[in-house]
Amino acid sequence: MTRWVGALLAALACVAVLVDVERAPERPLAEQPFPDSAEYTSSASSLSHDKGFFTYIYHNSRQPPRYPPGYPMALSPFAAVGSYPRDVQRGAKFWAMVYVLVAVAAAWSLGGSLAALLAAIFIGVSPFARVSAGLIMSDGYIATLTVLMLPLLRYATRSGARLAGTAAGFAMIVRLTAGVNFIALLATMPRRSYKGLVAFALPSVIGLGVLQWLLFGSPLKTGYSYWGVSGHFFSLTYATASSVIRDGPFIFPDKLNGALFNWTCPCRVGGPQDSMSNLAFYPALLASLYWIYSPPLVPLLGLFYAWRRRREAIARYALLVTALTFVVFLFYHFQGARFMSGPATLLLVLASVWLAELAGRLWWALLRLLRRQFVTVDTA
Amino acid sequence: MSASGGKETLFASGPDGTAAAPWIAPGFVYVFRLYSLVPEHRLLARLQIGHATQLQVLAPPQPPKLTSPFVNRLLQILSFASVALLAILAAMHIREVLDD
């Protein structure tokens, strides 16, 4: 009975968050981050209408986008129906809803309905999913592909390894730095799953190489090199430098408007979220001191839980993805809360699982105490 | 180049090379514009340094390579199929877990 009530509550919470995300306001394309959103939208439409992987946003001339094709590919089925750019915007909203579903399902598979309920609440009270639904940006999709691995590691099946490989391959062609997901999978999946994992991840990477060879003359040349913006992306000095280019709060804003870091100001126009070094910003973000993915400090519970269980595949995967993503973006020229969407959601899910476990233990301890008291009263 | 909204002056020209700008000073905004003169006068890029550093590439440096209609059709099919593949593999995984 309790199990059914828990499942019903979790399902209701998940539906409530999905409805909220579906109703999230869409930012007009002209006001979305340029050129990211504009290129994603245009190239998704181009792919969908059999015009190749190109964008038409530069004086209507046909140009290859600077970003890899993974996200436009995921949006392209939506670009086939309806009017531009609303059709693509609908696709972005769809993937934001899938993000919620996958995160809640991952929590459910690891910690039951209470964990799912908690994950739904944490996502529902945080801005990331809602803002993602109104933006044509790849961060929600990347997070979905990252968190999807949790239930696949929990139930290591043959088709699960294939799905993990496919998702890891797709993540790499959305954002090249998502290669950390694949490395983490190789380090955590059982050896018998390697074949399926690699066989289903490689086609995406090979496909990307072929496309880049066709468009830019070399499999290693990307759209960034075509547009002349590929130099000096990574440097050790970016960890502490103030010269990094920051998203600030203008793409994914902190629900608290930087209130927990106001003591560090005077700051730039965007407040503390627009003023910190990579070395200070990303740990603060991963601890949710900027409330974007989950309420403050919640991910620390997930991190603690993962560390205590670091010998298990799921915890090791979460720790590796978090550590590798942090290291990669620590030395990156661009700073944005969105780059941590994968690890932040992993930690949110694990925090929900741990809290559910603690609540379960507390519940049983309470029951035992009550039973003991009744038995004492009976025998008296 | 124009300093703090002033008149545009020639900073450097040529197919490639470097040039020093020792007169850059804090408190001013400098805007550098890169033009191509052949085959037409065309603004390619704009770099602003000062309060808010900004780089805008307005026109690509070389004409893009095109892909054949066959490749375009293949990309379309792969794009549509990629979403379906995720859904099919997820369904297969769920079935396998439930069977176990």
Are A157 and B59 within 8 A, CB to CB? Answer: no
B53 and B6 within one domain: yes
Mean pLDDT of chain B: 82
Q: Which of A313-317, A347-351, B4-8 has the lowest mean pLDDT?
A: B4-8
Distance, C-alpha A196 to centroid of its chain: 24
The confidence score (pLDDT) of residue A194 equals: 93
Q: Is A206 on the interface with B (CB under 8 A)?
A: no
Q: How many domains does chain B have?
A: 2
Cα A203–Cα A206–Cα A210 angle in degrees, nearest 5? 130
Kindly tell me if the per-residue pLDDT of A1 is higher than 70. no
> Are A73 and B79 inside 8 Å of each other by CB?
yes
Per CB-CB distance under 8 Å, the chain B contacts of A163 are: 86, 89-90, 92-93
Q: Which amino acid is at B59?
A: A
Name the residue of chain B whose CA is nearest to A48's CA: B76
Q: Do the Cβ atoms of A107 and A115 come closer than 8 Å? A: yes
> B93, A211: Cβ pair inside 8 Å?
no
What's the confidence (pLDDT) of residue A328?
97
Across A82-86, average pLDDT? 91
Mean predicted confidence (pLDDT) in A365-375: 85
A55-69, A117-131, A164-178: range with lowest mean pLDDT = A55-69
Same domain (yes/no): B75, B53 = no
Are B7 and B50 in the same domain? yes
Average confidence (pLDDT) over B58-66: 72
pTM: 0.87
Q: How many CB atoms lie within 10 A of CB B24?
A: 12
Sheet holding B30-36, edge to edge: B2-3, B30-36, B42-49, B54-57
Closest Cα of chain B to A75: distance in Å?
8
B96 touches chain A (CB under 8 A): yes
Name chain A contacts of B81, Cβ cutoff 8 Å.
none
**pLDDT confidence of B26, banded at 50, 70, 90?**
confident
DSSP A201-262: HHHHHHHHHHHHHHHHSSTT--HHHHTT--TT-B-GGGGT-S-SEE-TTSSS--TTTTGGGG
Backbone torsions φ then ψ of B62, nearest 5 degrees? -140, 155
Same domain, B52 and B70: no
pLDDT over 60 at B39, yes or no: no
Q: What is the ipTM of this complex?
A: 0.88
* Residue B38: predicted pLDDT: 58
A19: confidence class by pLDDT, cuts 50, 70, 90? very high
- Which residues on chain A are in Cβ contact (under 8 Å) with B69? 50
What average pLDDT score do residues B35-61 get?
71
Q: How confident is the model at residue B40 (pLDDT cuts 50, 70, 90)?
A: low
pLDDT value, residue B61: 58
Residue B13, pLDDT score:
81
Q: What's the whole-number mean pLDDT along residues A25-46?
A: 93
pLDDT of residue B37: 66
Q: Which range, of A65-69, A185-189, A333-337, B29-33, averages the lowest pLDDT? A: B29-33
Which residues of B fall within a CB distance of 8 Å from A53? 67, 75
> Does the beta carbon of B57 lie under 8 angstroms from any beta carbon of chain A?
yes
Question: Averaged over A104-113, what is the pLDDT?
Answer: 96
For residue B5, is pLDDT > 80? no
Look at B58 and A216 and tell me if their CB atoms are within 8 Å.
no
Which residues of chain B have a CB within 8 Å of the CB of A157?
93, 96-97, 100
Closest CB to A155 among B59, B64, B97: B97
B87 Cβ under 8 Å from any chain A Cβ:
no
CA distance B96 to chain A (A): 7
Q: Are residues B49 and B72 in the same domain?
A: no
Query: Out of A63, A64, A76, whose CB is closest to B80?
Result: A76
Instruction: Parse chain A into domains and list their residue ranges.
Output: 2-379
pLDDT (mean) for B75-100: 93
Q: Is the CB of residue A72 less than 8 Å away from at least one CB of chain B? A: yes
Show the tokens assigned to A107: 């929590």
CB contact under 8 Å between A72 and B79, yes or no, is yes
pLDDT higher than threshold 60 for residue A245: yes
Judging contacts by C-beta atoms under 8 Å, the chain A residues touching residue B98 are none
Question: How far apart are alpha carbons A195 and B43 in whole angstroms?
Answer: 51
- Preceding omega of B39 cis (within 30 degrees of 0): yes
B96 and B52 share a domain? no
**A14 has pLDDT over 70:** yes
| CA distance to partner chain B, nearest, from residue A299 (Å) | 27
**Could you list the residue range(s) of the whole structural domain that residue B48 is in?**
2-57
- Give yes or no for B54 touching A (CB within 8 A): no
A331 touches chain B (CB under 8 A): no
Q: Does A197 touch chain B (CB under 8 A)?
A: no
Rounded average pLDDT over A268-273? 88
Higher pLDDT, residue A230 or A303: A303
pLDDT of residue B60: 61
Per the model's pLDDT, the better-predicted residue between B16 and A360 turns out to be A360
Question: Rounded distance, CA A112 to CA A231, Å?
Answer: 47
Distance CA B73, CA A151 (A): 35
Min Cα distance B9 → chain A (Å) is 24
